[in-house]
Amino acid sequence: MKVIVTSNKEIAGKEAFKLIKSAMDDGAKVFGLATGSTPIPLYKEMIASDVDFSKMTSVNLDEYVGLAPEDPQSYRYFMQTNLFDKKPFAETFVPDGKAKDPEEEAKRYNKVIADHPIDLQVLGLGRNGHIGFNEPGSPFDVETRKVQLTESTIEANSRNFENENDVPRYAYSMGIGSILKSKKIVLMAFGTEKADAVKGMIEGKVTNDCPASVLQTKDDVTIIVDKDAGSELSDSSIDEKIN
């Protein structure tokens, strides 16, 4: 695990983009992508670059249950407006929030992942240590399934909705077991509200009480945080500081 602390999230986005480009230079074809505010600096770097993604494939981490692709709050809509419409990919996969049978949708998406092994997975980090929507208590070997969101996650996501009651209570999420099969992982986290989770992920014991702590067990993981998110880390845990 390599830990990089940057002075701000814009620099973090640049550092993450370097890893994307390096992976492509090494032959990467499939990227696991994330939604939310955290990856936006990375996506801005991708859009601004002259790198051609038209032969690449993306496999997204998650989607809200009950939201159609054209819903402005859906993760499919987020990905279209924040990346795909400006930087087209050959194929893009996001779970179907309107699927009638959750078990069948989970099976379908697990096959998508199996058919498109992920070369580099981009992750954010929840305030409670979740990755994807794998909330505390999630088994480390689980695959894609329908999950119930915790109250802390619902509260955190409510900033994107008119009121908290509009936030979906369930989501489809790629499982931790699937995430760990990725060849490379890049996780980003920003802000003081993520500092506890960052410390637990990097310096705490490996436990599903902090799902992201499992990344300690995997090779080729790069953690990129801003100075606020990394404010509780010991100096010995930090490999590089970039201003």
pLDDT tens for each residue of 85-115 = 999 999 999 999 999 999 999 999 999 999 9
Catalytic residue among 15, 63, 96, 135: 135
Looking at 94-201, which runs of residues are DSSP E strands?
120-123, 145-148, 170-173, 184-189
Q: Name the pTM for this structure.
A: 0.94
**What does the pLDDT look like over 48-69, one tens digit per residue?**
999 999 999 999 999 999 999 9
Q: Please write the tens of the pLDDT for every residue from 3-18.
A: 999 999 999 999 999 9
Give the confidence band of 164 by pLDDT, cuts at 50, 70, 90.
confident
Given the residues 60, 82, 128, 157, select the one marked as catalytic.
Answer: 128
Kindly list the strands in the beta sheet with 57-60, ordered across the sheet, starting from the edge strand earlier in the chain. 91-93, 57-60, 30-33, 120-123, 184-189, 221-226, 2-6, 240-242
Is 101 tagged catalytic? Answer: no
* Residue 119 bears catalytic tag: no
Comparing C-alpha atoms, which of 34, 56, 30, 52 is closest to residue 43? Answer: 34
Structure confidence at residue 151 as a pLDDT band (50, 70, 90): confident
Active site residue 130: yes
Taking the C-alpha atoms of residue 40 and residue 212, their distance in angstroms, rounded to an integer, is 20
- Cβ-Cβ contacts under 8 Å for 13 (sequence gap 6 or more): 40, 41, 42, 43, 44, 45, 188
Nearest to 152 by CA among 122, 130, 176, 174: 130
Q: What is the C-alpha to C-alpha distance for residues 98 and 193, in angstroms, rounded to an integer?
A: 32
- Asked whether 1 and 220 are in contact (CB, 8 A), the reply is no
Which residue among the candidates 15, 60, 96, 130 is catalytic per the annotation?
Answer: 130
Mean pLDDT in residue range 184-208: 98
* 62 a catalytic residue: yes
Q: Which of 15, 62, 63, 96 is catalytic?
A: 62
- For 138, the enclosing helix (H) or strand (E) is none
